[in-house]
């Protein structure tokens, strides 16, 4: 839905409300629902959301370590939610109310918050994910632990995933 748009000397500006569904490697069943302003000016495309976007994915395929049932809210930062110029693009912002299931660990992460930056250019894809906080729940048939708290960072660069995650007892 594009309730308002206008051509300007340098390009185009449009207010929009959108819902997109797509599959792309390594993500299946991705969905985003958003509302905001799209501008295409002087060779730069920029999208600034007027409210946090609802995001979800059925599955993030990592071989034996797939993650499923991903959902949350992505709130744009100073650079907007999405920007593209000169052969480079960036999607990023603050994550809120994030949850996911990691069956290979028999765990669910919920109430997560942090920051996400995904960039792409001719050199490839880069991902930086920081988790400020999350609750971790045991899904094992035999209870292994009470709910815990976690935080950390995960990065993709040069086709290699790295990261660290600290897990501990919830704050009392």
Among 168, 33, 44, 52, CA closest to 113: 52
Average pLDDT value for the chain: 92
- The mean per-residue pLDDT over the stretch 34-58 comes to 95
Distances (CA, A) of 39 to 15, 43, 53, 143, 149: 9, 10, 17, 51, 40
Verdict on whether the full-model pTM lies above 0.85: yes
Residue with the larger pLDDT of the pair 12 and 172: 12
pLDDT tens-place string over residues 62-109: 888 899 999 999 999 877 899 999 999 999 999 999 999 999 999 999
Q: Is residue 51 within 8 Å of 43, Cβ to Cβ?
A: no
Provide the token pair at 91.
């999607």
């Amino acid at each position: 839905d594009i309730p308002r748009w206008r051509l300007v000397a340098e390009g185009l500006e449009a207010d929009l409300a959108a819902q997109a569904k797509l599959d792309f490697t390594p993500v299946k069943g991705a969905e985003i629902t958003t509302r905001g302003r799209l501008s295409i000016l002087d060779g730069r495309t920029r999208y600034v959301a007027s409210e946090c976007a609802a995001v979800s994915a059925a599955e993030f395929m990592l071989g034996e370590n797939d993650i499923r049932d991903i959902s949350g809210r992505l709130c744009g930062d100073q650079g907007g939610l999405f920007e593209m110029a000169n052969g480079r693009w960036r999607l990023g912002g603050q994550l809120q109310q994030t949850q996911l299931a990691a069956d290979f660990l028999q765990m669910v992460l919920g109430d997560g918050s942090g920051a996400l930056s995904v960039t792409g250019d001719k050199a490839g894809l880069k991902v930086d994910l920081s988790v400020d906080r999350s609750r971790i729940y045991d899904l094992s048939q035999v209870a292994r632990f009470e709910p815990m708290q976690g935080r950390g960072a995960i990065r993709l660069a040069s086709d290699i995933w790295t990261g660290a995650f600290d897990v501990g007892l919830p704050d009392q």
